[in-house]
Structures are given as structure tokens and as C-alpha cells.
Structure 1
Amino acid sequence: MAATNFIGRGKFFEDFEIGQEYVSPARTVTQTDIVNFACLSGDFNEVHTNFEYCKNTPFGEPIAHGPLVYAIMGGLQYASGLNDGTLLALLQIDKWRLLEPVRHGDTIRLQSRVIEKKASSKSDRGVVTFQRQCVKQDGSVVQEMTATLLYRRRGH
């Protein structure tokens, strides 16, 4: 199935189809993002905050925190409009893999494919599972995971 650049507001459980793919808008990660995340999280590990230290690492410069990239992926899904007024909860993340570093200046986007859906025992909601990939401007996958989310059902 071809990927959809979804700019709409809120998809309900019934709107998702197995195999359907979505591509979010893109966002460039900045040094300010990395520093702000270090301040917010308290994670001032030198691999994220010290240019001199990083000269002697495989990265050569500070890299974004893995959880920062994960958080940006959540924001990109929100920016796509998929969840607007229809998402009830994030239920589970499985098989989260950090495959490549993200540096300041990298532009990332979220690619999601519906791999499972099932109605809940409660008639007003349903569960949708996505295979998610965070992709950099050069096409490389930097993070991937399976995400299970709870969505509203139409008419409830």
C-alpha cells in the first residue's frame, strides 16, 4: 500500500486499515532541542553535551538523546493530525531499537504502517498497532518500534 501524507484531523479506529502507511511532516533537530532535553531530563551525559569529549567518540559531535528522538516522533504523529481528538492512550511500545545517531541539523520524519487492529471489549474504543520508523533526510532508519495505541470509535 502506498504511504499517505496525512494532513487531516483525527482518524477513528474504523478509519485505519491493515497495511496502511502514513508519513508525517519533517522536523529538523537542533542543538537547542538537545540542550533543552538535557535540562528537562537531567541527562547531561557528555555524549549529548560536550563537543570536546565527543571529538573522541564515533560520533565526532554531540548526538540527540534516544528518548528525545522518540518524543519528537510523538510530536510528528500529532502534527500529522492522525490523533487529533481521537487518540485515547498510548498502550505499549515494543522492540524499540536505536539504530543510528541523530545529530543537530538532521531532519527526521515518522513513517508508520498499521500492522494490527482489534476492537476493544468496550464499544467506544479500539486498539491499533503500528510499525514505526524514524527516518533521516538521507533515508536511513534511526529508530524503529512497534507502538500500540487506543483510539475512539466513530459515533461514541
Structure 2
Amino acid sequence: MTTEAKPRGKYFEDFEVGETMVSPARTITSTDIVNFACLSGDFNEVHTNFEYAKTTQFGEPIAHGPLVYAVMGGLQYASGVNDGTLLALLQINNWKMLLPVLHGDTIRLEQTVLDKKETSKPDKGVITLKRTCRNQRGEAVQEMEATLLYRRRPQ
């Protein structure tokens, strides 16, 4: 007999406006940057050419903005918030690149619940989060507002 595992993620009802959640941390490596360039096809020299990057204000290759965004999604998953309860990413607003992320930077995701709305469907609800990605010095490197669709707790 097989039993279905219960989700460990947060249901719509579990989120509280004003609540802040912090993810585990992850270090960005040169391998991450190169692999993302290969995956995306974005071989811009600011990401892949050490000699070129020396001539920029960064002094070395920087991580792609979308790479950091993707890692933020993985950090949210690693936190357990989405496990078995997230249904869809609906919208991203005000996505800002505030500081570069370099090889060796360790980032984490800080999320604050801005809003929660019931939908016309009794099994779904919408959560809006302010997402801030911070480096090992606590500096905000990216921020955005993410709107996501979550399962409601079964009756």
C-alpha cells in the first residue's frame, strides 16, 4: 500500500502579512557562472572573460542577474516553503540588480509577506512576497516583488 507524502510547505493560510522568512545560504562559484552562460547562451564578456572584466568596475567576472534569480528560487525551495504547496509563479515586479554577485559570494533569500488574497477557487490563494537576496555582508544584491499561487489547506 502506497501512501502519499504530506506536503511540508506552507499553505496559503500559514502565511502572515509582515512575516519574514530567511533561506539557507549558497555560495556562487565560477563554475555556476560558466554553467549558466552555457545553459542560457549568454556569453557576455562581463560574465566570461577575466581579462575583459578586469577593465570594468567589477574587476572580475560577475554572475548573471538571471542566475542569481534562479538560485533564489532554489533557495526558496531549500527552505521548504514551497514543497508540495506552490502551484505557480504569477508575476515578478520591480526586479532590481543592486550590487554585483561575484565568485565566492554567499547569498541567501529573505522574503517578507506583503499581501495575501483569497481567490474565487476554494483550494487556491495568492501570496505576494518582497524578495531580497543578500550577500555574506548582509548587503541587498537583488530585490523584487513576487506573486505566487499556493494551495489552501485541505478541509
TM exceeding 0.5: yes
**SS in structure 2 of the partner of residue 44 of structure 1:** coil
Question: How much has 1:88 moved relative to structure 2?
Answer: 0.1
- RMSD of aligned C-alpha atoms? 1.0
Q: Partners in 2 of 1:142 and 1:68 — Cα distance?
A: 12
Question: How much has 1:134 moved relative to structure 2?
Answer: 0.2
Q: Partners in 2 of 1:81 and 1:55 — Cα distance?
A: 39
Q: Partners in 1 of 2:35 and 2:140 — Cα distance?
A: 24
Question: How much has 1:24 moved relative to structure 2?
Answer: 0.1
Partner in structure 2 of residue 58 of structure 1: 57
Q: Is structure 2 residue 150 aligned with structure 1 residue 151?
A: yes
Counterpart AA for 1:112? Q
Partner in structure 2 of residue 101 of structure 1: 100
**SS in structure 1 of the partner of residue 96 of structure 2:** strand
Deviations 1:18-63 (A, max 9, x none): 0000000000000000000000000000000000001100000000
| Mapping for residues 1-150 of structure 1, pairs under 5 Å | 9-150=8-149
Unpaired segments ≥5 residues, structure 2: 1-6
Unpaired segments ≥5 residues, structure 1: 1-7
Q: Partners in 2 of 1:120 and 1:32 — Cα distance?
A: 42
Counterpart AA for 2:33? I
Partner in structure 1 of residue 4 of structure 2: none
Identity of aligned residues (%): 73
Question: How much has 1:9 moved relative to structure 2?
Answer: 2.1
Question: How much has 1:15 moved relative to structure 2?
Answer: 0.3
Q: How many residues matched?
A: 149
Question: How much has 1:90 moved relative to structure 2?
Answer: 0.2
Counterpart AA for 2:38? C
Q: Partners in 2 of 1:99 and 1:73 — Cα distance?
A: 15
